[in-house]
Amino acid sequence: MPLSADVHHPGVRSAFEHVVRRNPDEPEFQQAVLEVLDTLSPALVKHPEYDEQRILERVCEPERQIIFRVPWRDDQGRVHVNRGFRVEFNGALGPYKGGLRFHPSVNLGVIKFLGFEQIFKNALTGMNIGGGKGGSDFDPKGRSDTEIERFCQSFMTELHRHLGEHTDVPAGDIGVGAREIGYMFGQYRRLTNRWEAGVLTGKGLEWGGSLVRTEATGYGLVMFTRRMLENVGKDLDGKRVVVSGSGNVAIYAVEKAQQLGATVVACSDSGGYIVDEAGLDVALLKQVKEVERARISTYAEQRPSARFVPGGDVWEVPCEIALPCATQNELDADAASRLVRNGVIAVAEGANMPTTPKAVKVLREAGVLFAPGKAANAGGVATSGLEMQQNSLRTSWTFEQTEAALAGVMADIHDRCRDAAERYDAPGDYVLGANVAGFERVAGAMLAQGLI
């Protein structure tokens, strides 16, 4: 996993070699660092003080890594032991902010990859929030509500000592929704004797949550995509769209894309994908995935215009806009080449790092507009920031107010990325633009605060 051959800045090469040497068994983290460092040479040439103060080495090393045991008892009385993580990566801009993921694939390298991405994603929002991430290798699938409650309480019993609205503010992620946030908030309140609404985001609407938080990542993804298209004189209206995944991000990306006039014809889950040439029925999709918690094949069973392709690759379906919203490294070079042959004009990441480096290269060489996740899927953390604002004011905004605020944040993120790319003579390169714009903001704060 080497740097690009055209990366000649010695500070960049030294920083990446340092990361690989110190984190040898963490491929996801190395990939995330590579994707950022590959684009930062121009910024180090323009700002030699970044290299002099070893900003790259410092930003690639977490400020704090917390690993802990999470024991809990199932409904049959059996004891289980999981591992919990919280990586407080960089707090130069504000309290650490980033989700908690409950999934068997979680390990320290995955959490560090997600936390590293979060630093720059949060910086791009323009809000004063740092980057962090956490979670556990606990699998909530198939567990009862009481088992999940016990696990969340055990998890928070240790984690609570590291949190606070001015210190670290987690949210949800894969496997962690409003139910899990509720159990963890209750345990935090019990342990601290404080109603500290701003310590967790993604809360229920009745007790400090924000409208649009459920929809935020999917909505924000489509808002960014529309802005990116408009920047080159195109429109989302009338476009044919394919979305991977069928979880929260995918569902609300489908909903917003169709509200804006696009036709979303396919989505997927781990069992295969569905194609619905009439356009996905969002109400039915929500019923199948959010209420019944069924496989995506159930949608095709209830929708005459749809067909299910078991075990297939959703990127086989021709489209003009592709929105990968499932998981990391799901869109590889072969899939990217197939999308290009089928006429794709834009790809925007709804998941974290779903496109492999080779796939990104294929898309960019073909002239496809490409929006990296740290910019395109920042709507979730942006709305978490809006939730923190409402909590601090002890107030709630309407859906329309919050959606308008989210749209403004996503437009600003797009413009920061576009302007940074143009400033460094790389117009249209949203990868460079996002990385440089986020990095410069974090680096400036780190320089101002001294060697800490």
pTM assigned to the model:
0.92
3-state secondary structure at position 17: helix
What's the DSSP call for residue 95? S
Among residues 311, 342, 376, which one ends one of the domains?
Answer: 376
Q: Let me know if residue 416 belongs to a domain.
A: no
172/267 same-domain check: no
168/293 same-domain check: no
Nearest one of 172, 170, 188 to 180, comparing CA atoms: 172
Kindly give, in sequence order, each residue whose CB lies less than 8 Å from that of residue 421, ignoring residues fewer than 6 positions away: 427, 428, 429, 430, 432, 433, 436
Is residue 361 flagged as an active site residue? no
3-state secondary structure at position 225: helix
Q: Crossing angle of helices 108-124/399-423, nearest 10°?
A: 90
R_g of the chain computed on alpha carbons: 21
Residue 6 has pLDDT above 80, yes or no: no
Our count of domains for the chain comes to: 3
3-state secondary structure at position 265: strand
Domain containing residue 79: CATH number: 3.40.50.10860
Beta bridge partners of 65: 87
225/181 same-domain check: no
Q: Let me know if residue 155 belongs to a domain.
A: yes
Q: Let me know if residue 262 belongs to a domain.
A: yes
249/358 same-domain check: yes
Q: Let me know if residue 254 belongs to a domain.
A: yes
191/224 same-domain check: no
Q: Where are the alpha helices (DSSP H) in 371-398?
A: 373-376, 379-393
| Rounded Cα gap, residues 8 and 424, in angstroms | 16
pLDDT given for residue 410 in this prediction: 97
Show binding-site residues for NAD(+).
217, 248
Q: Let me know if residue 407 belongs to a domain.
A: no
What is the pLDDT averaged over residues 131-143?
96
pLDDT digits (tens, 9 = 90+) for 343-382: 999 999 999 889 999 999 999 999 999 999 999 999 999 9
| Rounded Cα gap, residues 308 and 323, in angstroms | 19
234/368 same-domain check: yes
243/175 same-domain check: no
235/360 same-domain check: yes
What is the pLDDT averaged over residues 233-245?
97
Residue 7 has pLDDT above 70, yes or no: no
Catalytic residue among 46, 112, 133, 286: 133
What is the pLDDT averaged over residues 125-138?
98
Show binding-site residues.
97, 118, 121, 172, 217, 248, 384
pLDDT digits (tens, 9 = 90+) for 276-318: 999 999 999 999 999 998 999 999 999 999 999 999 899 999 9
224/369 same-domain check: yes
Among residues 162, 196, 230, which one ends one of the domains?
Answer: 196
Q: Let me know if residue 405 belongs to a domain.
A: no
275/318 same-domain check: yes
What is the pLDDT averaged over residues 90-105?
97
153/225 same-domain check: no
Parent domain of 154: 64-196
Q: Let me know if residue 413 belongs to a domain.
A: no
Domain containing residue 268: CATH number: 3.40.50.720
Q: Let me know if residue 3 belongs to a domain.
A: no
- Residue 444: count other Cβ atoms within 10 Å of its Cβ: 17
Tokens of 70: 């999470």
360/242 same-domain check: yes
Burial class (CB in 10 A: 0-12, 13-18, 19+), 429: buried
Show binding-site residues for substrate.
97, 118, 121, 172, 384
| CA end-to-end distance (rounded Å), the chain | 30
What is the pLDDT averaged over residues 128-140?
97
Nearest one of 299, 242, 239 to 267, comparing CA atoms: 242
CA dihedral 194, 199, 205, 208 (to 10 degrees): 50
What's the DSSP call for residue 292? S
Using CA atoms, how far residue 406 sits from 170, 225, 386, 387, in Å, is 19, 14, 8, 11
Among residues 319, 341, 376, which one ends one of the domains?
Answer: 376
